Structure 1
Amino acid sequence: MLNVISDFADAFPSVEVIGTDISPIQPTWVPPNLKFEIEDCTQEWTFPPSHFDFIHIRGLVGSIDDWPLLYQRAFTALKPGGWLESYEISPTWESDDNTVAEDSAMGRWGPVFVEAGKKIGRSFTIVGDEVQRTGMEEAGFVGIQEKRIKQPIGSWPKDKRLKDIGTYGQLVMERDAEGLMMLMAGLSGWTKEDVTVYVAKLRKEIRSGKHHSYYRQKSLWGQKPE
């Protein structure tokens, strides 16, 4: 998320850019037109109505208990004619050639998050349930467009660009899998040892190159009427 904000600020140096998070974990070495504020988007927003020209929200899957309210708050904070972009991912690993079996480590990843989300009241099925489009339409956004993306995991794609993307995706998963899985699996009764064994199997499957896995991402953008 930080790279996205920094790149945006670099690309539009005359624009004031504000990044929000619930923790003060941001670096101080950022573009001069970028600043960070502590803000919990699940609480009442501190920004005044009709304040922003553009709002970008991403990576909130598993964190929001009321998505329609989130989009309504974004709608209120935008100026007439302003734009909202919502970018989210699905935790479910899929394949187009049936190389990701339901009982494989890859196949078990998504269900762990979906089940944990039900227990904490924070859905992980935002992409599959079309929550973004429905919430934005209900809030009043118009001209909604969307882009669907398949994010490969591993260097298996033949296309060079997708191969590079998949390689980075593999690096992220191999380095962060335990941290990503520990809390969610723990809610379903997994022990630390269970997670360690599972992640070892997951890494083995990724490195084999035999499983042509990907997960879905979806970006939607819409405009507040003039």
Structure 2
Amino acid sequence: MTGRTEANIEVDETHVEDNDSTLGDEISAFTASITSSVLDYPVENGRRYHAFRAGAYYLPNDELEQDRLDLSHALMTKAIGDELFLAPIDTDKIDRVLDIGTGTGIWSMAMGDEFPNISEACFAIQPPWVPPNVRFEIDDVEYPWVYERPFDFIFCRYMTGSILDWPTLVGRVYENLAPGAWAEFQDFDLQYYSEDGSLTPESSTLRWINTFLEASRKAGREPCPGPKLEEWARDAGFTNIEHRRFRLPIGPWAKDPHLKQVGMYNISQIMTGLEAFSLRLFCGVLGWKENEVLALLTKVRSELKEPKLHAQFDYHVVYGQKKSK
């Protein structure tokens, strides 16, 4: 693995305050400044979900969640250096790009705008206005693929908690690449931790994330695929594999300016998404009552706004190349 930084993240002591309302206001203002609202869907616990093969995806697809997904895109691109991808592809020579699990389509549209020579096909809630070289397809990525032509680049990001069989998916990505083409996988290890002991076993935040991980695994969907991506890529036959880990602070507590901004993006998308992450899994898989979930989330929100809490989790980027004939 490359790109690992062993030194702990240095805390910005000037950010520590007794009153958490300042951070709450800061999160709201930050979220409002960078997010935008971009069929017949079922509604559960006040949230709207996909109708296509209902239950296969635990997150909602309503406007609030679309805003969070766009915010998450900003988080992930910021975390890796304000880049759309890290694989060493020659953008002048590629034509067909596949974006798996495209969400709102924000990555695909950014690629289509930046590289007009590319034509794309994507799995998935997208807006009706898109660059002319972008098109979207609704399908299940875990079903057999029927593309007649291979792709020059396949991008798979933020599929945590969505895939039943990761090795098969990575294998299909490899099979559908042109010889010598690249694929890139970006995903999370959602196990929260702190390097200074500020996230304690007694905290509601640790209880919440551990319960979330338990529910996702009970549903058969791995919530922490990031650390395993390199192994799956190697087993699928990829060569020239690179694996990088990025730490994502939760909140603007880091002293480093880049990590401070990453932390602000991160806490904003978490605060926006707590109910989306929790309701279907906690209620539908573990049998919690809705009011029990909401009561726990109230405690989590309060803790996450506490400047003395220095929680974080990891983001993994793995890219590799298909062997040339």
Same fold (TM over 0.5): yes
Kindly provide the amino acid, as one letter, of the partner of residue 191 in structure 2. T
Between 76-85 and 10-19, the greater mean CA deviation after superposition:
10-19
Which secondary structure state, in structure 2, belongs to the residue aligned with residue 36 of structure 1?
A: strand
> What pairs with 1:39-188 in structure 2 (closer than 5 Å)?
39-48=139-148, 51-127=150-226, 130-186=227-283, 187-188=285-286
> Any idea what SS the aligned residue of 1:154 has?
coil
Separation in 1, partners of 2:201, 2:134: 44
1:30 alignment counterpart: 130
Deviation at 1:100, TM superposition (A): 0.8
Letter in structure 1 aligned against 2:247: K
TM-score, normalisation: structure 1: 0.92
Question: SS where residue 208 of structure 1 aligns?
Answer: coil
The amino acid of 2:305's aligned partner reads R
Structure (1/2) with the larger strand percentage: 1
Confirm or deny that 1:20 pairs with 2:118: no
Asked if the contact 2:182–2:322 (Cα under 8 Å) also holds between the matched residues in 1, the reply is: yes
Q: Percent identity?
A: 33
Bigger Cα displacement from structure 2, 150-159 vs 136-145 = 150-159
Q: 2: CA distance between counterparts of 1:223 and 1:116?
A: 34
* Contact kept in structure 2, 1:82 and 1:224, CA below 8 Å: yes
Partner of 2:112: 9
Aligned 8 A contact 2:248 2:263 in 1: yes
Asked if the contact 2:123–2:137 (Cα under 8 Å) also holds between the matched residues in 1, the reply is yes
* Aligned counterpart, 2:316: 218
Aligned alpha-carbon RMSD (Å): 1.4
CA distance in 2, matches of 1:126, 1:109: 19
Task: Map 1:178-217 to 2 at 5 A.
Answer: 178-186=275-283, 187-217=285-315
**CA distance in 1 between partners of 2:265 and 2:174 (Å):** 34
Against the structure 1 CA distance between its residues 109 and 149, is the aligned structure 2 distance closer, same or farther, given a 3 Å change threshold? farther
Give the number of equivalent residue pairs. 220
Report the Cα distance in structure 1 between the residues aligned to 2:212 and 2:308, rounded to whole angstroms.
24
| Rounded Cα–Cα distance in structure 2 between residues aligned with 1:108 and 1:12 | 44
Aligned-partner SS, 1:84 = strand
Shift of 1:74: 0.6
Offset at 1:26?
0.4
Deviation of the 1:71 alpha carbon? 0.9
Query: What secondary structure, in the 3-state scheme, does the structure 1 residue paired with 2:292 have?
Result: helix
Amino acid at match of 1:45: W
Cα distance, 1:104 vs structure 2:
1.0
SS state of the match for residue 210, structure 1?
coil
Greater mean deviation of Cα atoms: 204-213 or 106-115: 106-115
Question: Runs of 5+ in structure 1 lacking a partner?
Answer: none
